[in-house]
Structures are given as C-alpha cells and as structure tokens.
Amino acid sequence: MPARVPSVKLRKAARLLLYRSRSKPGIKGWELAKLLGKDYLEVIKALNNVLNVLGLEVIAVDGEGRRLNLEGDLRRALFLVVLSEKPSLQEAKTVGWRIDDLAMLAVSLLYLMARGGRAPRSDLMGVLKSRFRYPRVSYVVERLLRLGYLEEEDDQVVIGWRSRVEIDLDKLVGLEPRLSDHPPPPP
C-alpha cells in the first residue's frame, strides 16, 4: 500500500522550517501565516506529528528565547525545528561540533548561570583559558557568539537566545526534578 502523500501545506511548512536561508534559523509566525494561511498553527501541529517520528519538533519562541505554547496569536514568535531528544555524541560530531567545543559551551553556560546569567568577557575567557588550550578558546567563543549560544552586551557575555531554546539549562546544572521530589498523585 503506498505511503500517504503529505498535504501541500504540510510539505510547504516543512520546507520553510527546515531550509535555512539566513544566519538565524527559523521563520516568524507572520511569515508562516502569510505563506500557509490562517490555519498555520494547525499545519504546524500536524507537522509536529510527522517530525516526532524523526525525533524532531517545531517550537515557537519569543524574542527572549522562551518557549511558547502553540496556541493563540503567534505572529511575532519565531518558529524553529529542534531535536526532541538529546543527540548522541556521534550525532553532535557529525554536525560540526568537536567535543572540546561542546565542553567550552557547557563550561561557559555553567559559569554564566553561576554569575546570574552574565559575566565580564575577560572573566569568562580567563576561566576557559585555564581549562582549555588557549589558541582554540578565542575561536570557539567567537563562534558561540556568532551562532547565538552566547551574546555580548557591552563588555558582558550573557546566555544567548539559542542556548535558552536548544539546551535544557536546568538539566545542565543538575536541577532536573527527581521522582522522589514529587509526591505521588492522589488515587
């Protein structure tokens, strides 16, 4: 029996979200509404059902990188495709991340979170240079800034929008709730 062919709107939504035409991934809600019609959120929800099989999901985020529910008026939101499960180390390597790049990202995020989400660039560089080979540190920090995982405000480095979207910062810090932290539901 032949596989079902996705609707035209579903295929169009997948292409819009998976094809990256700018340096910043994703597409604005108003663009989706213009290209897919008023029912663009229903199309996105249907696309999520298809992508779920592949370990991907479409999310909507605000300007600060906070996830939004796929309901209401999301014309100002940014829609992008993210992994719905954490990637293996081999998968991370195949998309261009070296293990030391990932380690520097993790150390940077942990350091910034310990400092309230921001720190002077010189302090962050000092921490990274004390742990990693110097020539690579500057290159990786610039790459993280360019990709949006870190952002710079004056001489301060802050957690970038992309880190807030793609990384579970609570799990990174170890604040993941344990089963014993929640009482069992009433019978």
Q: Which one of 54, 85, 116 terminates a domain?
A: 85
Q: Are residues 127 and 141 in the same domain?
A: yes
Q: Are residues 94 and 169 in the same domain?
A: yes
Is there a domain that residue 136 lies in? yes
Q: Are residues 50 and 107 in the same domain?
A: no
Predicted confidence (pLDDT) per residue in 5-39, tens digit: 468 888 888 888 887 666 678 899 999 999 998 88
- The amino acid at 103: A
Q: Would you state the structure tokens that stand for residue 139, as one six-digit string?
A: 């290159």
Is there a domain that residue 59 lies in? yes
Whole-angstrom distance, CA of residue 58 vs CA of residue 95:
19
3-state SS assignment for residue 52:
helix
Whole-angstrom distance, CA of residue 27 vs CA of residue 36:
12
Is there a domain that residue 48 lies in? yes
List the strands of the sheet with 150-153, edge to edge.
118-120, 156-159, 150-153
Predicted confidence (pLDDT) per residue in 40-86, tens digit: 999 999 999 999 988 899 999 888 888 899 998 899 999 988 888 87
pTM for the whole structure: 0.73
Length of the chain in terms of residues written: 187
The stretch 118-129 carries a mean pLDDT of 94
CATH code at 131?
1.10.10.10
- The amino acid at 84: S
Of 171 and 100, more confident: 100
Is there a domain that residue 181 lies in? no
Domain that holds residue 127: 90-173
